[in-house]
Chains A and B, each alone.
Chain A
Amino acid sequence: MTSRPDVTAAPTAEAGARPPDLGARVRGALGSLVVPALAMLTALVIGALVIILSDPGFLANVGRDPVAALSAGIGSVAAAYGGLIGGSVGSPRAWSETLLQATPLILTGLAVALSFRAGLFNIGAEGQLYMGAATSVYAGFALTGLPAFVHLPVAVLAGIAGGALWGFIPGLLKARTGAHEVIVTIMLNYVAYRFVDWLLNQPFYQREGRDDQISRFVAESAELPRFVEGFRTHWGLALAIAAAVFVSWLLFRSTKGFEFRAVGLNPAAARYAGMSIGGTLILALAISGGLAGLAGASEMLGSNHTLTPGFSPGWGFDAIALALLGGSRPLGVVFAALLFGGLRAGATPMQAATGIPIDLVVVIQALVIMFIAAPALVRGIFRIRAERRIGSEVFTKGWGA
């Protein structure tokens, strides 16, 4: 006997004769923001406790004068969060930094969200990002004499291709042999790191006259220009937004996306309906890899203009959290990336102003991930009913698949 209520679907009052209108869609979107917002709030509260408990003023005085100690602690929290907010949205420059940080996060977040939709857990966005960076930089310096309107697209496409190849491999292995994509993508991350290390020691790639691992400069004709000189945000952001629109179309308005989602939700029914499971997995992982590769290309062509090992602070891994936070919806991922981008952008000013280490931001991010991955926890704390979220299911049960 099932524990499900044994009842027929209750006829609801508003027998929906029309597609969900704008109001309903906005309400739906807001509803799906409840858990992430509460997760963020909870994470900030716990982050505040961490600040208080690690505050030297608080620790020194807590025995003698708890009230003063507490107020000192709260003062630290206010200073830290004030610094964080000021550094992320407090000025035009802060906004620019937030958007700059958000750009690769949007792209890698989309990559992982897309894989979640197809029931795949792409942990290899980081490696795909490195491969995309390596190929786009190569296209950026090896091709010369091209006008920018040719060279730049070629370099961007090279980045997408590099990442797509790195996604295609685990897809092919999964489709052909059943090799679990989690394992293969993790391993391919290391292969990508070492490949970049090797590449940076090759004469055709290494900058002339340098012994350390650094590539040649990307030609100016392959650079993604800044929007406004003096602010670091560049056209990579526009590519990221365009990618979000593309992924949204792909998932919800195209036949391929229909296949991705069908395979992700019920592979047996997808097979019954005549879809090719293997082909769908391969395509989904290749596109996912391509998006991560685009993140690498955008970073190389827009910000760094040269490849170095370890240039990514883990965008490909933050992406998993972003996909969860955004409910594997492209718009959700964009907002989640802006949030994490803001945290990253504000962290350095916060440390400079208050001495509270940047690591606090990592703690907050980790807590957000934890609360999203365990929605029951948030539901329990705030006593709300949560809806199904695509992604967290893959996250929590996908290991045996």
Chain B
Amino acid sequence: MKLELRGITKGFPGVVANDGVDLVVRPGEIHALLGENGAGKSTLMNVLYGLYQPDAGQILLDDRPVSFRDPGDAIAAGIGMVHQHFMLIPVFTVTENVMLGTESVRTPIGLLHQADARRRIVELSDRHGLRVDPDARVEDLPVGVRQRVEIIKTLYRRSNILVLDEPTAVLTPQEIEDLFAVMRSLAKAGTSIIFITHKLNEVQEVADRITVLRRGRVVGTTTPAESDESSLARMMVGRPVQLQVAKEQPKPAEAVLEISGLRVLDDRGHVAVRDLDLTVRAGEIVAIAGVQGNGQTELVEAVTGLRPLEAGEVRIAGEAIRPDPRRIFAAGVAHVPEDRMEEGLVPGFTCAENLILNSYYLRPFADGLTLKRDAIVATCRELVGEYDIRTPSVFNDVANLSGGNQQKVIVAREFSRPLKLLVAAQPTRGLDVGSIEYIHRRIVEKRDEGTAVLIVSTELEEVLSLGDRIAVMYQGVIVDVLDPSEATPERLGLLMGGAHPEELTPEEVAAAVPASA
């Protein structure tokens, strides 16, 4: 089915989120929608999905104008959306989840007709390589399979246009390849796919055409053949962007962080980190790669004092730590937490209050019990300038800043003092190219000043470009530590998926390389 958006304009108080956006998606095409956070991608898709009514403009399906009052209308017209956060009920089976909302009922007593649904699911999953067990419970399935369930759900409702909102954010490299194979198969069968992302390499790999949005407007439409990653980045950001982190050879000095035999439990009391040993030296960046949920969160929390050690030892600058975040902070450890809004910031506090969140009780910000407003405001103004935080003033609620600026608040707070160790978990998650470039540069600067840096990331690119050594974590264990020169995405991907390093033959590594590459 052909989709055309014509002159879509949508404003919110104070801003125009979409300004005369034109977009044509041809039948059977994979059309990438590329843009920074805040470029208007989500607003545009919400208009398409009937969640917002456009202020101006038209939606045309196969050249017929349509209007959607709510998502029900959009679904009925054949538009399917896979959200970034899955809309699945964990305790239901795959079949039950897929049926949900379109249950076929066996009259007259209203029993659900599961067999029909199951048959169609098996048929759909066979046809498009969407391997999934229709009787499995969703809560038992890995993230990649859950995503397949979401895709099946849209196909089950006979969608001809499929919108995938940042679908690769939660996947391993191999799962991403699987997803791309499914997308190609669906496109070949005539489904039009809108693929929302800000990852340039993925666009290059899978898209037929690419439309770039910036500040609510279409910057242009191109194809992978006519563009490359740096030209796309320039279109997105509006200026040339340094995609590769520029850094010198590391000059590792003394060990700063020494972890030995560390065992940590997760919230439910299960072992999350298992007898882990790791050393990070001053002046080097150690990047931990791994699929989310393999103990990285617990490792970081243990190192930063937020989680008790079950066994083993963590030494920072030679001293064994106790689970006390304040003492660890005082020892010169900075922590960029995994989740900005959950842990790193206090929404409802001003920028200034967030900038002093862990130093408010120290001079010059406090004198005894009294906060020193003038000193706080003066220091925070300096930080806002130095770290280029875009905010109307330091008195604005941090919740109203863009994601990139929120992260800069955290970076400004954590980096603006002498550091021995920097621990950064997912430092650029959800950020746009410009902010990623900025934060990477700051991290490398800290390393060059002689700080020991521990990065945890699920983004392979980030791990590969930042890490001076790369440790792969799987099920609470560091399975291998690689030099960046020997760490190819394929090798890392296999290790992240649980392959044993000694079992990896060159043939296997080669086999994991996707045919398309």
Residues of A near any B CB (own CB < 8 A): 1-3, 5-12, 14-17, 19-20, 253-256, 258, 261-262, 265-266, 268-275, 388
Choose among B49, B357, B371 the residue that contacts A253 (Cβ–Cβ < 8 A). Answer: B371
| Complex CA distance for A274 and B401, rounded to whole angstroms | 24
Query: Contacts A9-B390, A9-B405, A10-B14 known; A255 to B344 CB distance under 8 Å?
Result: no
| Complex CA distance for A20 and B350, rounded to whole angstroms | 12
Q: Are A17 and B393 in contact, CB atoms less than 8 angstroms apart?
A: yes
The verdict on B69 contacting chain A, using a C-beta distance below 8 Å, is no
Query: Contacts A7-B12, A9-B401 known; A261 to B343 CB distance under 8 Å?
Result: no
Choose among A1, A11, A262 the residue that contacts B390 (Cβ–Cβ < 8 A). Answer: A11
Choose among B15, B306, B348, B392 the residue that contacts A272 (Cβ–Cβ < 8 A). Answer: B306
Stretch at the interface among B40-48, B112-120, B264-272, B467-475: B40-48
| Complex CA distance for A15 and B43, rounded to whole angstroms | 27
Q: Are A16 and B353 in contact, CB atoms less than 8 angstroms apart?
A: no
Q: Interface code B267-309, partner A: CB below 8 Å = 1, 0 otherwise? A: 0000000000000000000000000000000000000101000
Stretch at the interface among B218-226, B358-366, B498-506: B358-366
The verdict on B250 contacting chain A, using a C-beta distance below 8 Å, is no
Residues of B near any A CB (own CB < 8 A): 12, 14-15, 17, 37-43, 45-46, 49, 51, 81, 83-84, 165, 215-216, 304, 306, 324-326, 329, 335, 337, 342-349, 353, 357-358, 360-361, 366, 369-371, 373, 377, 390-393, 395-396, 400-402, 405
When C-beta atoms are compared, the residue in chain A nearest to B365 turns out to be A255
Task: Give the residues in chain A near B84, CB-CB below 8 Å.
Answer: 1
| Nearest 9 Cβ contacts at the A-B interface | A16-B393, A274-B326, A6-B42, A8-B38, A273-B358, A5-B12, A274-B325, A265-B348, A7-B15
| Complex CA distance for A268 and B335, rounded to whole angstroms | 14
Q: Are A7 and B40 in contact, CB atoms less than 8 angstroms apart?
A: yes
When C-beta atoms are compared, the residue in chain A nearest to B49 turns out to be A1
| Complex CA distance for A166 and B51, rounded to whole angstroms | 50
* A to B CB contacts below 8 Å, 30 in the list: A1-B83, A5-B43, A8-B37, A8-B390, A9-B390, A9-B391, A11-B392, A12-B14, A15-B393, A16-B393, A16-B396, A253-B371, A255-B360, A255-B366, A256-B369, A258-B360, A261-B346, A261-B349, A262-B349, A265-B348, A266-B342, A266-B346, A268-B343, A269-B357, A272-B306, A272-B325, A272-B337, A273-B357, A274-B324, A274-B329
Task: Give the residues in chain B near A254, CB-CB below 8 Å.
Answer: 369-371
When C-beta atoms are compared, the residue in chain A nearest to B366 turns out to be A255
Q: Are B395 and A16 in contact, CB atoms less than 8 angstroms apart?
A: yes
When C-beta atoms are compared, the residue in chain A nearest to B83 turns out to be A1
| Complex CA distance for A179 and B43, rounded to whole angstroms | 43
A-B contact count (CB 8 A): 124
Task: Give the residues in chain B near A269, CB-CB below 8 Å.
Answer: 342-346, 357
Task: Give the residues in chain B near A12, CB-CB below 8 Å.
Answer: 14, 392
Query: Contacts A6-B40, A10-B15, A262-B349 known; A15 to B392 CB distance under 8 Å?
Result: yes
Q: Which of A6, A255, A265 has the most CB of B within 10 A?
A: A6
When C-beta atoms are compared, the residue in chain A nearest to B216 turns out to be A7
Q: Are B342 and A1 in contact, CB atoms less than 8 angstroms apart?
A: no
Task: Give the residues in chain B near A275, CB-CB below 8 Å.
Answer: 326
Looking at the assembled complex, report how far the CB atom of B40 sits from the nearest CB atom of chain A, in whole angstroms. Answer: 6
Looking at the assembled complex, report how far the CB atom of A274 sits from the nearest CB atom of chain B, in whole angstroms. Answer: 3
Q: Are A5 and B17 in contact, CB atoms less than 8 angstroms apart?
A: yes
When C-beta atoms are compared, the residue in chain B nearest to A11 turns out to be B392
Q: Which of A19, A255, A256 has the most CB of B within 10 A?
A: A255
Q: Are B325 and A273 in contact, CB atoms less than 8 angstroms apart?
A: yes
| Complex CA distance for A273 and B365, rounded to whole angstroms | 15
Q: Are B329 and A258 in contact, CB atoms less than 8 angstroms apart?
A: no
Looking at the assembled complex, report how far the CB atom of B426 sits from the nearest CB atom of chain A, in whole angstroms. Answer: 14
Q: Are B392 and A7 in contact, CB atoms less than 8 angstroms apart?
A: no
Please name 7 further chain A to chain B contacts, defined as beta carbons within 8 Å, in addition to the given A1-B45, A255-B369, sorted by A numbering.
A1-B83, A1-B165, A6-B41, A7-B43, A269-B344, A272-B304, A274-B324
Task: Give the residues in chain A near B337, CB-CB below 8 Å.
Answer: 272
Looking at the assembled complex, report how far the CB atom of A105 sits from the nearest CB atom of chain B, in whole angstroms. Answer: 27
Q: Which of B17, B357, B377 has the most CB of A within 10 A?
A: B357
When C-beta atoms are compared, the residue in chain A nearest to B339 turns out to be A268
Task: Give the residues in chain B near A20, CB-CB below 8 Å.
Answer: 395
Choose among B43, B335, B377 the residue that contacts A6 (Cβ–Cβ < 8 A). Answer: B43
Q: Which of B38, B391, B392 has the most CB of A within 10 A?
A: B392
When C-beta atoms are compared, the residue in chain B nearest to A274 turns out to be B326
Looking at the assembled complex, report how far the CB atom of B514 sits from the nearest CB atom of chain A, in whole angstroms. Answer: 28
Q: Are B371 and A255 in contact, CB atoms less than 8 angstroms apart?
A: yes
Looking at the assembled complex, report how far the CB atom of A247 sits from the nearest CB atom of chain B, in whole angstroms. Answer: 14
Looking at the assembled complex, report how far the CB atom of A250 sits from the nearest CB atom of chain B, in whole angstroms. Answer: 9
Q: Are B346 and A270 in contact, CB atoms less than 8 angstroms apart?
A: yes
| Complex CA distance for A20 and B377, rounded to whole angstroms | 12
